[in-house]
Amino acid sequence: MQLMFVMPHTMELAALTQPWELTVSGADQTWMAKRAEELGYSLLAVPEHFVVPRTHVELTGPHYFHSTVAQAYLAGATRSIRLNTCATLLPVQHPIVMAKALATADWMSGGRIGVTFGIGWDAEEFRMLGVPFHERGRMADEYLAAIIELWTSESPSFEGKYVSFDNVAFQPKPVQRPHIPIWIGGDADRALERAARFSCGWMPFLTQPDDFPARIDFIKSQPTYDGRPFEVVYGLGTSLIGEGHVVNDDPTQRPGMSAGEIIDKLGRFGELGVTTSSVPIPPVQDASAYLDYAQWVIEEIAPAV
């Protein structure tokens, strides 16, 4: 199992954020990304929202990055660790611009960029951005097809309801072939069908771990799934976040568990099909203490999972 380093203060989510994270700055994150790479973590992932309605701030928090900008910055601060997202809100961003941003980051980082696309859940955020919320799934399917066309074709051409282009050039292409790895976030059947068609990975959110095998079988049973290698990404602590970011009580995924508890839980995740996970940020004192904890995870947890 690969382990993802959870970067402090990429969000201020009520269910997971520790009070000490609020003091972490961008300069601190640069230093921490370099240290995570030195320790041997496989990847970093950045969440994304553009605006948070005041009605949601108490649970969701106001602090989010543009995920691709943050990925590119962290890629520039490191040399080998992979950069992903959790998740990039696809329907609210023009697919040509999105394709260009990710291809640029991949080219400049030497092929270390991945992306997890989600269709979003906050209707108010979509309204403020002028994007039809109830069309977001159809938009995402079209945008994904258009992005892949731009990344892979020497003469890109696409005709759709939401985006069309022809007689264009698109460079640089991503370094990675056939293109930047795409994961899909979400739990509904349509999200899983989207994953089967377009992606090499799935990031569940509300799905319970015991249900993963059946949902993975559903993905792989789709006619658009071609047998490609497939990742399942689920961080320890995810079950503490409910729909609408409500706070759930799940003592089996709490921050600060013992080594034995973490190893048992991650081992169980692996049995259920999870290929990449993470350990939640613990209730320590500061960034230095967290990096000590991150080293403990690599030394004590990683060899067992």
Residue 232, pLDDT score: 98
pLDDT tens, position by position, 120-153: 999 999 999 999 999 999 999 999 999 999 999 9
Q: For residue 149, give its domain range.
A: 2-304
Which residues are registered as beta bridge partners of 203? Answer: 185
The pLDDT of residue 2: 98
> How far apart are alpha carbons 126 and 81 in whole angstroms?
32
Which CATH number characterizes residue 117's domain? 3.20.20.30
Asked if 287 and 8 touch (Cβ cutoff 8 Å), the reply is yes
Q: Which pLDDT score is estimated for 101?
A: 98
Q: How many domains in the chain? A: 1
- Per-residue pLDDT reduced to its tens digit, 36-91: 999 999 999 999 999 999 999 999 999 999 999 999 999 999 999 999 999 999 99
What does the mean pLDDT of the chain come to? 98
Rounded to a whole number of angstroms, the distance between the first and last alpha carbons of the chain is 6
Show Cβ contacts of residue 132 under 8 Å, excluding neighbours closer than 6 positions: 126, 139
- What confidence category does residue 297 fall into, taking pLDDT thresholds of 50, 70 and 90? very high
Per-residue burial over 254-274, b = 16 or more CB atoms within 10 Å of its CB, e = otherwise: bbebeeeebbebbeebeebbb
pLDDT band at 31 (very low <50, low <70, confident <90, very high): very high
pLDDT at residue 158 in the model: 98
The residue-averaged pLDDT of 4-15 equals 98
**Pairing relationship of beta strands 182-185 and 201-203 according to DSSP bridges:** parallel
Q: How much is the pLDDT for 77?
A: 98
Is-above-0.85 flag for pTM? yes
Contact 243/15 with Cβ under 8 angstroms?
Answer: no
Residue 289 pLDDT grade (very low, low, confident, very high; cuts 50, 70, 90): very high
The pLDDT assigned to 127 comes to 98
Asked if 294 and 39 touch (Cβ cutoff 8 Å), the reply is: yes
